[in-house]
Amino acid sequence: MSDPRQQFKALPWRSLVPTGLLVALLAALFDTGLYYIAAAVTAVREALIILLQPPVVLLVRLGLSIGLGMVAVTFLEAWFNPAPIYSSTLWALFLCVLVSSMFLSFFGSTFGLRPLFFPATDVFLIGTALGIFWQGRRYWRY
């Protein structure tokens, strides 16, 4: 039998952690940039008010979170080139994005970050997992 702790240690953490940090930082910068642009430009502010209304905001946040998960897999494949990617690697990537996002949401006010579309909620978790496993579906079998 295989040892789960050994499999966990054998994951390519040197590629996964920077990918998770980069993706979470990208989401935080997107949110903060949109916040400050909306404060300066009236048309953007009115568009964001419409997008942040209750029935629409769920779909917008889910779609953007799915896109963020897809970007995470793309960054992992292109820039951080780990060992072969398996389904366990995708789960570890999800864990890295989750921990990085939680860190940025916890310390976000210290850094001046404003979460509009990527707050650490259940919609973000589901959307990110869907995006990661949708983009990485060719790695499921291994």
Q: Copy the structure tokens of residue 138.
A: 């060719």
47 in a structural domain: yes
Query: 36-45, 51-60, 61-70, 82-91 — which is least confidently predicted?
Result: 82-91
59 in a structural domain: yes
Predicted TM-score (pTM) of this structure:
0.90
43 in a structural domain: yes
* Structural domain of 87: 25-139
Give the model confidence (pLDDT) of 51-69 as tens digits.
889 889 999 999 999 999 9
Query: 1-5, 71-75, 89-93 — which is least confidently predicted?
Result: 1-5
Please state the domain count of the chain: 1
pLDDT exceeds 50 at position 74: yes
Host H or E run for residue 96 = helix 87-106
Q: Please check whether residue 30 is in contact with residue 117, taking contact to mean a CB–CB distance below 8 angstroms.
A: yes
87 in a structural domain: yes
Q: Please check whether residue 116 is in contact with residue 34, taking contact to mean a CB–CB distance below 8 angstroms.
A: yes
